Structure 1
């Protein structure tokens, strides 16, 4: 081993010290690689990407509630000096997340599953806790130190993911997983912050049980909340005990729960997938608003957002996406897409897709000659169809390795060549389910109430979880509960 001069160690120590900052929560020094100004700037850059990805949920009253409670809680947090922003995004997934610099987002999916304001406040405090303790910044520093860069989330394998540089570095922070210690600390802060503005933080523990039941029912991990989190049972006990301590410390003899006011607030909330934004049925994607449809390869995963629709096989060997292309005509749009993605066309021809004018292009990523020689094994190949319909130009793009292109090309072509006008009135008029708040007229079990309201047997457990109750639970007359309607 080579000996490192003392001066070298001194320089390294100085650089490390300069990368440390006092944690606002613990008062200890943490290794971070950005200043507070940089952190805030990153949040400002990330926010538009988040909104573009998910869209804002269109309910001014609910948005005002989120912002008001968020600002009230931020004011008593350990980092009240920065400017916070609180938004509800239009996603059915049960999730809440925060990005550096004071930006907190709840999905309408998680709003649907809260059963009182206290549960909402506990989770809000948890997310503010991540910002107050600078967890995202610390995770970014650890990833940078360990790997020389941020870990970006992707539904693709790392090999194919290199072709899609659209994901910004800031948006990649959403996919950084917090460690268990960070989550425990945020739970503690969630209890502290929600208690300090008057809520019963024990309700936060009950919500964790709802998340656990939802995970067990779906067989899928709930994003954010259960990933790398402590055992839900241990978490419940810990939060319950902490809530009792803060009640005593603050002398909260009448801690707020506010069930009815919260349920009235979410009456009419869109529940589950909103078909007006597009929906999948029997491996066909339908978009009632834009009036088109196309098939999805059987067995492929898919993800819909206001910005794009993505499809990928389970092995991650390819990706297909649908986006809107810019341009007044097909030729201009094609040139713009090729330029935006740094693609070199190999073949191009004008075609007709179910009566609609289109251009079909086979292309590859532009590379320097030296890079071509070094990365010949990793060459990216693209098939795309630009289709003009109803004033828009749609870009259907399939991406894979050149070595796999012939395997995936038939699936790419089948989807693209079967893009067509949607005329089925049942699909065009499909409406979303919405939460309907009803007041129980007669004391009964939840199962009996569902009987009276003709809730299908197959959906009773789902609605029991939505209400934070068991089917066998006795529900008193005058209690508000959630049902669904269209």
Structure 2
């Protein structure tokens, strides 16, 4: 290397170090290049939290919220970064998931809380998520980029062939979840063992919960819960976490709690599965009881619902539809805003009505992104993303129902999109409007028997035995003792 080249590289390295600085990682103790300050981490958490709430909603249950905050703050105090402003929330989602955002924000879905069978399982996952924050995994990946919105996550599952083009429709939805490497996940498992043990829980139960995750993954056949996506295999993690927990307890003798009965009594009545108040699909029809509308779901299409949007897609990945709120006081204003936000080129547009409901239909294509000072990029006309959008003004709200496909597939896809939009109508069926959610109910076993026998005695249908087994972390032939508490599902 010549002297000039050496000096140039030295100057570049010095500039990088000067701009970003070196910091000691609070968990590993190693000095490392830091691209995000603590203040930036906190600011990022504050910025992302409203989007999480808007997208998923919060689950209101005082005793559960008090519980996760009590345990969360206790764990924060013994963590490697006790000075962060930690906050803990339950989000209103049936998905079995937990996630953390830099700066101290930790979220549990009601779905994962329903699947825990004791406080120790919860504490292990709590420690794992706090571990991502204390070990500064987002910083160590040298990025503050988030995994994206719930729409992008769902889109990757529902419409993988559409790839990045579908991301244009997810702007502003903002469900932020960090995607970490396998090494970081393993490190957080180790931290989870340490933290949960330090506040008095048996971390071997954390290992046991990976068996539940494994069953959920195997039974789904396709979508691994986000808590496990891109993670090490849950069966392997079960073994490794159990080994770490056992080693910790051998080195630190103590009375490590499980607290099964107390936890089960605390989740008695928690909503299980989809909450029909947020919308549900039945017989190829989507119903929204609170907003009082309905529209059809094409046969054999996959679908996913959240408080902020409803998505559905063909299994071949060539077309999808998304319903979301539109911004604007009039249909024309909403149309103009949408065109600007999504960088659209409108091909045709016009007013219409859908079963007496005012609407505006618009056919458009997404413009290619152009870098400043660069020529307009060329793209294949057949592969450009094309949208059929129905802006619907209903009950003082404007909804955007988008149909997405590539321009090459759009004409065929539109023949599916159009009947969906044209059958958007008011929901008047009182049975659908008054539909109640299923809930986890805690019962006391009246006599000894197998799990299969106990569920039968409690009136649970045989075709839900595996689902109930996952919920209770039991197999059909496992023995259940008289007097023990157990979960069932009811309304």
TM-score (norm 1): 0.90
Matched residue, 2:10: 10
Report the secondary structure of 2:169's partner residue: coil
- Structure 1 residue 151 displacement after superposition: 6.1
- Structure 1 residue 475 displacement after superposition: 1.6
Matched residue, 1:60: 62
Structure-2 change in CA distance of 1:401 and 1:222 (3 Å): closer
Matched residue, 1:276: 277
Task: Give the Cα–Cα distance (whole angstroms) in 2 for the partners of residues 183 and 350 of structure 1.
Answer: 52
Structure-2 change in CA distance of 1:364 and 1:235 (3 Å): closer
Matched residue, 1:190: 192
C-alpha contact 1:112 1:271 (8 A) present in aligned 2? yes
Task: Give the Cα–Cα distance (whole angstroms) in 2 for the partners of residues 175 and 262 of structure 1.
Answer: 28
C-alpha contact 1:125 1:193 (8 A) present in aligned 2? yes
C-alpha contact 1:160 1:318 (8 A) present in aligned 2? no
- Structure 1 residue 279 displacement after superposition: 0.9
Matched residue, 1:124: 126
Structure 2, gaps ≥5 residues long: none
Task: Give the Cα–Cα distance (whole angstroms) in 1 for the partners of residues 454 and 281 of structure 2.
Answer: 31
Q: Deviations over 1:287-326 (max 9, x none)?
A: 1111211122334332211111122334544442212234
C-alpha contact 1:309 1:323 (8 A) present in aligned 2? yes
Instruction: Report the aligned-residue RMSD.
Output: 2.6
Task: Give the Cα–Cα distance (whole angstroms) in 2 for the partners of residues 150 and 273 of structure 1.
Answer: 26
Q: Which moved more, 1:28-37 or 1:43-52?
A: 28-37
Report the secondary structure of 2:295's partner residue: strand
Q: Which moved more, 1:292-301 or 1:263-272?
A: 292-301
Report the secondary structure of 1:470's partner residue: coil
Structure-2 change in CA distance of 1:305 and 1:237 (3 Å): same
Q: What is the number of equivalent residue pairs in this alignment?
A: 476
Matched residue, 1:427: 432
C-alpha contact 1:260 1:480 (8 A) present in aligned 2? yes
Report the secondary structure of 1:323's partner residue: strand
Matched residue, 2:490: 485
Pairing 1:90-169 to 2, within 5 Å after superposition: 90-141=92-143, 152=148, 153-154=152-153, 155=155, 157-161=162-166, 163-164=168-169, 166=171
Task: Give the Cα–Cα distance (whole angstroms) in 1 for the partners of residues 117 and 95 of structure 2.
Answer: 17
Structure-2 change in CA distance of 1:303 and 1:15 (3 Å): farther
Task: Give the Cα–Cα distance (whole angstroms) in 2 for the partners of residues 158 and 212 of structure 1.
Answer: 27
- Structure 1 residue 14 displacement after superposition: 2.3
**Match status 1:472 vs 2:477:** yes
For 1:401, which of 390, 398, 406 is the aligned residue?
406
Structure-2 change in CA distance of 1:478 and 1:23 (3 Å): same
Task: Give the Cα–Cα distance (whole angstroms) in 2 for the partners of residues 213 and 379 of structure 1.
Answer: 39
Q: Deviations over 1:68-87 (max 9, x none)?
A: 11111011011112111111
Task: Give the Cα–Cα distance (whole angstroms) in 2 for the partners of residues 200 and 21 of structure 1.
Answer: 33
Task: Give the Cα–Cα distance (whole angstroms) in 2 for the partners of residues 97 and 4 of structure 1.
Answer: 48
Report the secondary structure of 1:163's partner residue: helix
C-alpha contact 2:101 2:178 (8 A) present in aligned 1? no
Task: Give the Cα–Cα distance (whole angstroms) in 2 for the partners of residues 216 and 162 of structure 1.
Answer: 28
Report the secondary structure of 1:351's partner residue: strand
Task: Give the Cα–Cα distance (whole angstroms) in 2 for the partners of residues 353 and 300 of structure 1.
Answer: 22
Structure 1, gaps ≥5 residues long: none
- Structure 1 residue 330 displacement after superposition: 3.0
For 1:226, which of 225, 228, 232 is the aligned residue?
228
Please identify runs of 4+ aligned residues in structure 1 that moved more than 6 A: 1-4, 367-370
Task: Give the Cα–Cα distance (whole angstroms) in 1 for the partners of residues 60 and 468 of structure 2.
Answer: 24
